[in-house]
Structure 1
């Protein structure tokens, strides 16, 4: 077992205990009978002062149930305030989310997100993505990849939390993207809508939802279906899904909810291109028979109990199953001989967890939250070599190539307190202790590897510390500063990659990656209709993990090691101005312009990789990421949105070099070129219950790519049109 000792963790707990004791002592009467000394007058503000502000249209509540977000930078997007997002166009969904980088691909089976240049965006492994506080990743600890994403029609809000996210939600470096599900209607026993859309490339999408509230009970159910032929050959996809919510509220103080989410995706995998192939024909498919299948089913139980106005318990219990299956044609024996076999892969995850948090409000606006999280996953990983290029997903007639039994266990305890002082000051110390165990037991390995079978069991215990403070000033303005530690647990592949070859005696045993985040800024709504948020940040990443060639051994003999450190610093800002709300805060019409930008300076400060030099830029660290747009809407009449995203050029390898010599077949330039893409969407209520919707994605038909992985690039979608209608009842 390894322990990463961080002395300030104990200091945070001591500070919190001392201040809490002092604050409660103010209410204790003195032992003698002498007249009490007259204390300076303190201005007492109602709790609503810091919980009911106009800026809550743009940021989270400072004390959001048992989550304390004050002094942490947050951003939210109210999904009802933008036109309908069709075909999971995440550019539109994240248009008002500063700094979140979306590495696009046409296949809907994977979502690639990253932030501030930390880690490869491949499958969002360095961003924690949650649905109602529950992890969306395949395996939260051992295999934190994102293969599913809920339809925007099911969401009410998108939250982004920066520094300190590890202290709120658990491991993975910041940020956290928390998706909040839509709630049932409150004023009717039965209501719903049906939405149907057609578009380019054979798109057809249908979303159907009913919900209602009757007495103490509430419900919501939806079913959805989407099919698309894709722009590339073998780029077709078919998605089916359903969601169910049952809520019981016997009183205002108690609430229990049962939620179920089902997701079934079947999609082609057209493969990645060389730069020459992309320039010649970006619609071609080097892998015309490859396929991906993803199934995910999650059942969760949530209970909230308000013991009184100052004490609240929120607990979530969940369990689920996910299967990431694939078919991939094997490498051709030679350029003139086509492949004749395929590899079937089955990557399963059975997981469950419990998250319980208790909130205690005390004194004049202070709040303490304590809690615990436990999680377990079993993740068997298997492969078979099958004859032919189109074996069925469940074909097991071939030769078993790989079998690993894998599991993870994770547990944490945490505490956080916000102290409020005269003059609008607030101070937030935080402490968290995490413990992970990752276990791999391999019984079958690829026959071309000479290494021993992988038998690994690794445990890490990590204390984390956070500190924040800020000040409310003027009219609805607030400064904030946060410094927080985070970490990235070791994955299955970090301690026992099934595809690497290690010499006898060599063991994959890297330390976890550690993160220190600092951010200082100011945000507010100083006048009607205006919101702004600007900050400076620095993120230090230590002990990055990557596979490296073992010296003096044949090519392909690799070992996973801590390869170096990086530093990421810059500026992030956003502004939004509603011209009509500025004239009348109660208006039902809104004409808002928004802009956000992230300026990034990232570099390696230490390296143990011969291919990487100190001063190199980490892969996928664009120097700027900017979004602008305008939204014009009137409630239940129309919504129109025009937005643009512009991304600077960026290296796709830490070496800052191309993958091959220019002019060769495999060549890809060292940098992903910069690009700017525009989108337009609109909803229009032609009569009270009938709404037409339509839009154009990639208005100018920009030819570009944002994703390079495994030595190949993946083209982004060209211009696409869609139109449809929605009827509510």
Structure 2
């Protein structure tokens, strides 16, 4: 607490000198204004203009204009930056009561594929990498990707992940329901279950249930509200904490900085009763910026019993207290009700994939995320950020959860069975302080990024409740209490430091360390016996350890940069690991520990002239100390289930992205538009190096090992192949998704089980077509057809809710969207 009070004092100290800081009287000019042009003299819209030693940032408008007002007299440096652009800097003097005018010209881009004139017309390229040094973190030497949603041809209405990540190689997508409320993605042979192998954030703040002990992302922002998605693979663990998958950060759209009022509205309709409305307001008034949106969508769903309604709301306000200090507040709210169509057996799927055997299953996850942020610019090269964030959320489900082979039908008395009611309540809060500075040593500029984090999570889990016999959504409990009632707590304190050393004009080296203190505790009851005796639990665990890593980057040529990274990571013991699968004959290892391992990346990325862009890399992911369950015999030779650390897997493979502009390859200037061909490939070999098994036969323990078995949910091939035609503000994209087969269990079961829960997940191909058109810079028209060939496929066999059984992916569906920006 003393640390945070000290930091708060340092941040607020400049407030006392506001008047001394501004030498201009109230209403004075003291401004810098200008235009950003491309090399052909055309205005560049949407790039970022920053002012040195201040918190001020502006985005250029449609005419390339920007302006900074009410500045203290003095010399500044104006910088034009953008992902994929070579920064342009120019000094500027602010004179009392005068306007300083500038013209800045972008001469070249880092990613030469994206012509500056295309940037001016269309904004940023659809895919890029993060800069070596960002506003709050260092990315040099890491495998990073940025998806700019403003220029992606995709069905953003329902968060169609296979389109959104079409240029991000190796991303596995679970497509188990069509609402898009829960995004399930993973990389490198990890499980896509609600993206729980990623550290999922929104605007840099945790949004999953509990990032350490229950990291499922039940909430994801509507993609219509997202400006870009930042993905940092294994090398993210030092700066962002656990999870082998890395960082998945949704960055929401920012308010307009060139006007006091701006509006965006997107109205959409589609197949199966889809209706969506997205509306946002934002702007800048003096030192105040504000932004908010309301997003609502509903549909009946492609399958029977799969209707949904989702509301998303967001509001933010920020105030520049001084030219160095900005205070911000934001609030995110999501509420939803989704009917869960349930699973199918293989025979039912083959007969009619749209059918549903569960008409009474419902799911809801109201989510609220408040955030307070302070940004303080210490100097031209040094910045501090402090955020305090919370999470008030729930996960509630009610339904008939028996195996899909058990029909949900009335009994002899005509009464439907009682449904099962499960509820989680999450009450989390945390704070993160980050400090980044660039300094000069030995004649070269280096960078240091440090930070500290505190997190406190509290989950109240109530399960196996006796619900009613109705078919609507309600949380009515028919008994006095839930048989399972647990309180789960997590406390995390962490500190990290990474330093980028420039060893030469082309070579950087970035070592780093993260110190983790992690405590978790579980208390309450697992069950209540028939005689009223509770099966209670009280257990806690504390650990302190370090994660190490190092990254390097070497610019081989203007069109080729080598990057490499080694980073340790860990997967904390989850609350599900501390909960027995059965009420009897189940023992949890008192020394159960976190899974530990590391990731190695090595790759080559760059662009050649203006027509070729690429990123090709190799990775090796060691996932040790995996948690599993073994059969054991007690002193009386009776079998019991023992949960402990028992396995190790290794994923290795190639991730490749390649895009070529055929028109730019043939001619430096095309009068008929641009034709881009792109592919993103993920080739994965994910296998168990060690996974002991045991069973009992004739009273004897029979042990085995699943060594060399493929890891479940890990297809060996994920390929996305696309073509995009662009003419001025018109685009048309066709995308082919081809995904290889995968297993649903570690035994690599091929023949499906009768309940549909285990068996092969066959390979599949899906084609999507989408198009967009901008008119008069204000109006837009988007349309598309997903699953053009109406393929029947599935990506998941669920063992529990919302299954069990096969969860079919959606068939052919279409959408049409009309938008306006003012």
Tell me, yes or no, if the aligned pair for 1:440 and 1:454 is still in contact at 8 Å: yes
2:272 is paired with a residue whose SS is helix
In the alignment, which of 765, 788, 792 is matched to residue 703 of structure 1? 792
Task: Spell out the pairing of 1:93-104 with structure 2 (5 A cutoff).
Answer: 93-104=164-175
Relative to 1, partners in 2 of residues 1:454 and 1:397: Cα closer, same or farther, differing over 3 Å?
Answer: same
- Asked if residue 606 in structure 1 is aligned to residue 690 in structure 2, the reply is yes
For residue 452 of structure 1, report the CA deviation from its aligned partner: 3.5
Tell me, yes or no, if the aligned pair for 2:525 and 2:535 is still in contact at 8 Å: no
- Asked if residue 596 in structure 1 is aligned to residue 676 in structure 2, the reply is no
Partner of 1:54: 110
Tell me, yes or no, if the aligned pair for 1:509 and 1:560 is still in contact at 8 Å: no
Tell me, yes or no, if the aligned pair for 2:586 and 2:641 is still in contact at 8 Å: no
Partner of 2:749: 657
Relative to 1, partners in 2 of residues 1:407 and 1:366: Cα closer, same or farther, differing over 3 Å?
Answer: same
For residue 535 of structure 1, report the CA deviation from its aligned partner: 1.1
1:278 is paired with a residue whose SS is helix
Tell me, yes or no, if the aligned pair for 1:659 and 1:667 is still in contact at 8 Å: no
In the alignment, which of 60, 74, 77 is matched to residue 144 of structure 2? 74
For residue 207 of structure 1, report the CA deviation from its aligned partner: 0.6
For residue 602 of structure 1, report the CA deviation from its aligned partner: 1.7
- Asked if residue 152 in structure 1 is aligned to residue 227 in structure 2, the reply is no
- Asked if residue 192 in structure 1 is aligned to residue 263 in structure 2, the reply is yes
Relative to 1, partners in 2 of residues 1:297 and 1:99: Cα closer, same or farther, differing over 3 Å?
Answer: same
Task: Spell out the pairing of 1:343-362 with structure 2 (5 A cutoff).
Answer: 343-362=420-439
What do the CA deviations read for 1:397-445 (whole angstroms, capped 9, x no partner)?
4242221111111110111001002241111111001121111111462
Q: CA RMSD in A?
A: 2.8
For residue 161 of structure 1, report the CA deviation from its aligned partner: 0.7
Relative to 1, partners in 2 of residues 1:659 and 1:260: Cα closer, same or farther, differing over 3 Å?
Answer: farther
In the alignment, which of 461, 484, 495 is matched to residue 402 of structure 1? 484
2:349 is paired with a residue whose SS is helix
Tell me, yes or no, if the aligned pair for 1:474 and 1:526 is still in contact at 8 Å: no
Tell me, yes or no, if the aligned pair for 1:701 and 1:718 is still in contact at 8 Å: yes
TM-score norm. by structure 1 comes to 0.87
- Asked if residue 486 in structure 1 is aligned to residue 578 in structure 2, the reply is no
In the alignment, which of 436, 453, 469 is matched to residue 536 of structure 2? 453
In the alignment, which of 517, 526, 533 is matched to residue 615 of structure 2? 533
1:472 is paired with a residue whose SS is strand
Q: Which moved more, 1:590-599 or 1:712-721?
A: 590-599
Task: Spell out the pairing of 1:122-271 with structure 2 (5 A cutoff).
Answer: 122-271=193-342
For residue 266 of structure 1, report the CA deviation from its aligned partner: 0.2
Task: Spell out the pairing of 1:308-327 with structure 2 (5 A cutoff).
Answer: 308-327=379-398
- Count of matched residue positions in the alignment of Structure 1 and Structure 2: 678
- Give, in whole Å, the separation in 1 of the partners of 2:669 and 2:435: 36
For residue 666 of structure 1, report the CA deviation from its aligned partner: 2.5
What do the CA deviations read for 1:157-210 (whole angstroms, capped 9, x no partner)?
111111221112111113221111111112111111221111111101111111
Partner of 1:27: none
Partner of 2:41: none
1:460 is paired with a residue whose SS is strand
Relative to 1, partners in 2 of residues 1:556 and 1:302: Cα closer, same or farther, differing over 3 Å?
Answer: farther
2:162 is paired with a residue whose SS is helix
2:620 is paired with a residue whose SS is strand
For residue 140 of structure 1, report the CA deviation from its aligned partner: 1.3
In the alignment, which of 497, 501, 519 is matched to residue 437 of structure 1? 519
- Give, in whole Å, the separation in 1 of the partners of 2:664 and 2:208: 39
- Give, in whole Å, the separation in 2 of the partners of 1:649 and 1:245: 44
- Give, in whole Å, the separation in 1 of the partners of 2:467 and 2:268: 39
For residue 476 of structure 1, report the CA deviation from its aligned partner: 4.0
- Give, in whole Å, the separation in 2 of the partners of 1:556 and 1:589: 70
Q: Unaligned 5+ residue runs, structure 1?
A: 1-45
Q: Which moved more, 1:532-541 or 1:391-400?
A: 391-400
Partner of 1:38: none
Partner of 2:628: 546
Partner of 2:417: 340
For residue 299 of structure 1, report the CA deviation from its aligned partner: 0.8
- Give, in whole Å, the separation in 2 of the partners of 1:522 and 1:50: 19
Task: Spell out the pairing of 1:271-286 with structure 2 (5 A cutoff).
Answer: 271-286=342-357
- Give, in whole Å, the separation in 2 of the partners of 1:60 and 1:415: 19
What do the CA deviations read for 1:235-276 (whole angstroms, capped 9, x no partner)?
000001111121223455333321111111100011111111
- Give, in whole Å, the separation in 2 of the partners of 1:722 and 1:368: 47
1:92 is paired with a residue whose SS is helix
Tell me, yes or no, if the aligned pair for 2:628 and 2:647 is still in contact at 8 Å: no
Tell me, yes or no, if the aligned pair for 1:275 and 1:669 is still in contact at 8 Å: no
For residue 612 of structure 1, report the CA deviation from its aligned partner: 4.9
What do the CA deviations read for 1:269-303 (whole angstroms, capped 9, x no partner)?
11111111110111122221010011001011222
1:187 is paired with a residue whose SS is coil
For residue 539 of structure 1, report the CA deviation from its aligned partner: 0.7
For residue 698 of structure 1, report the CA deviation from its aligned partner: 0.6
Tell me, yes or no, if the aligned pair for 1:631 and 1:640 is still in contact at 8 Å: yes
Relative to 1, partners in 2 of residues 1:688 and 1:125: Cα closer, same or farther, differing over 3 Å?
Answer: closer
Tell me, yes or no, if the aligned pair for 1:355 and 1:373 is still in contact at 8 Å: yes
For residue 619 of structure 1, report the CA deviation from its aligned partner: 0.4
- Give, in whole Å, the separation in 2 of the partners of 1:659 and 1:337: 32
Tell me, yes or no, if the aligned pair for 1:208 and 1:223 is still in contact at 8 Å: yes
Relative to 1, partners in 2 of residues 1:458 and 1:678: Cα closer, same or farther, differing over 3 Å?
Answer: same
Tell me, yes or no, if the aligned pair for 1:326 and 1:393 is still in contact at 8 Å: no
For residue 563 of structure 1, report the CA deviation from its aligned partner: 2.5
- Give, in whole Å, the separation in 1 of the partners of 2:592 and 2:689: 19
- Give, in whole Å, the separation in 2 of the partners of 1:107 and 1:692: 22
- Asked if residue 675 in structure 1 is aligned to residue 764 in structure 2, the reply is yes
- Give, in whole Å, the separation in 2 of the partners of 1:543 and 1:243: 40
- Give, in whole Å, the separation in 2 of the partners of 1:555 and 1:240: 52
2:366 is paired with a residue whose SS is strand
In the alignment, which of 177, 186, 200 is matched to residue 114 of structure 1? 186
- Give, in whole Å, the separation in 2 of the partners of 1:265 and 1:467: 43
What do the CA deviations read for 1:88-141 (whole angstroms, capped 9, x no partner)?
2112111111111111111534332221112x3222221222111112211111
Task: Spell out the pairing of 1:500-649 with structure 2 (5 A cutoff).
Answer: 500-503=582-585, 507=589, 509-551=591-633, 557-579=640-662, 591-610=675-694, 612-633=705-726, 637-649=729-741
1:542 is paired with a residue whose SS is strand
- Give, in whole Å, the separation in 1 of the partners of 2:406 and 2:554: 67
Tell me, yes or no, if the aligned pair for 1:240 and 1:263 is still in contact at 8 Å: yes
Relative to 1, partners in 2 of residues 1:269 and 1:250: Cα closer, same or farther, differing over 3 Å?
Answer: same
1:98 is paired with a residue whose SS is coil
Q: Unaligned 5+ residue runs, structure 2?
A: 1-78, 88-108, 112-123, 695-703
2:693 is paired with a residue whose SS is coil
- Give, in whole Å, the separation in 2 of the partners of 1:536 and 1:516: 14
What do the CA deviations read for 1:600-626 (whole angstroms, capped 9, x no partner)?
112111122247511101101211111
- Asked if residue 385 in structure 1 is aligned to residue 478 in structure 2, the reply is no
For residue 572 of structure 1, report the CA deviation from its aligned partner: 1.0
What do the CA deviations read for 1:538-572 (whole angstroms, capped 9, x no partner)?
11110111233444699995332113101111111
For residue 365 of structure 1, report the CA deviation from its aligned partner: 2.1
- Give, in whole Å, the separation in 2 of the partners of 1:73 and 1:373: 24
For residue 722 of structure 1, report the CA deviation from its aligned partner: 1.1
- Give, in whole Å, the separation in 1 of the partners of 2:488 and 2:683: 40
